[in-house]
Homo-oligomer: A and B are copies of this chain.
Amino acid sequence: MSIEPELKVTGSQVWPNPEVVDDLARLRQVAPLTHCITNMVVTNFTANVLLAAGASPAMVVTIEEVADFVSIAQALLINVGTITTIDARVMLKAAATAQLTGTPWVLDPVAAGALKFRTEIVNELIKFKPSVIRGNASEILAVSGFGGGGKGVDSTASSFAALHAAGQLALMTGAVVALSGEVDYITDGKEVISVPGGHEIMTKVTGVGCSLGALIAAFLPVTPTPLRAAAAASVIFAAAGENAFKLARGTGSFSVEFLDQLSTIGNQG
């Protein structure tokens, strides 16, 4: 397999990038119904992030309802963070339905590579053509087959090192890959958008990365490409995180300020 080895950053975005400003305005107008099947640690924070930004979250997680709700929803997030035997069936059915109904969806392969069961399920899920795969360096390395394996949910590889793997994963799957790290990289295997900013404290509050996946999903129905959806969400997170850090006195107030920023960004003036 010969794949373009010299994947280069083709653009960099920060708030207030005009496209992102437009995309956020559209998100708030449409309030896309975003179906989240996510891990039990971050359900509340994820819903609050989506509400703050202007989307309409809903979590429907039972096998009897999941296909119907994917059909109603405008976007879907599947995050395997605390996957169970039962969840796996639900996630597979959700992903299969999304492919069938054309519901755009995001896969967040939390801790893939570190644990066998979820890695297998993630590999199955990918076959249902997610629009975006979001993860940290370890996860993207693992899912792309370029090795890795982290110590659980934290990234142990730098996001730049994983950029090559991200590009290949994008080419192999047709998904945009959103690689989270000190700098975020978003790629479809050809273009690479870098999103600097944010702050390290974002790794000290649970659910920030997971809710980024959810916000990317929410942007999918209101943006022309998955690349732009992932960029919009990442740019907004970076700005909100940076501003929130300036106002925070610790990780508790950071969470609060972060939601405040998300709910007011772009509203001033």
Which residues in A have some Cβ–Cβ distance to B below 8 Å? 33, 39-45, 47-48, 51-52, 56-65, 68-69, 72-73, 81-87, 111, 114-118, 151-154, 203-207, 248-253, 255-264
A71 to chain B, nearest CB (A): 11
In the bound complex, CA of A117 to CA of B67 (Å): 12
**Which of B42, B72, B154, B258 touches A44 (beta carbons < 8 Å)?**
B42
A65 and B118 contact, Cβ closer than 8 Å, known pairs A44-B44, A256-B256, A264-B250: yes
**Which of B57, B83, B115, B263 touches A252 (beta carbons < 8 Å)?**
B263
**Which of B41, B52, B151, B251 touches A204 (beta carbons < 8 Å)?**
B52
State the oligomeric state as a number of copies. 3
Are B56's CB and A152's CB within 8 A? yes
Are B111's CB and A82's CB within 8 A? no
Are A252's CB and B52's CB within 8 A? yes
Closest to A207 in B: B44
Are A260's CB and B264's CB within 8 A? no
Are B263's CB and A259's CB within 8 A? no
A104 to chain B, nearest CB (A): 17
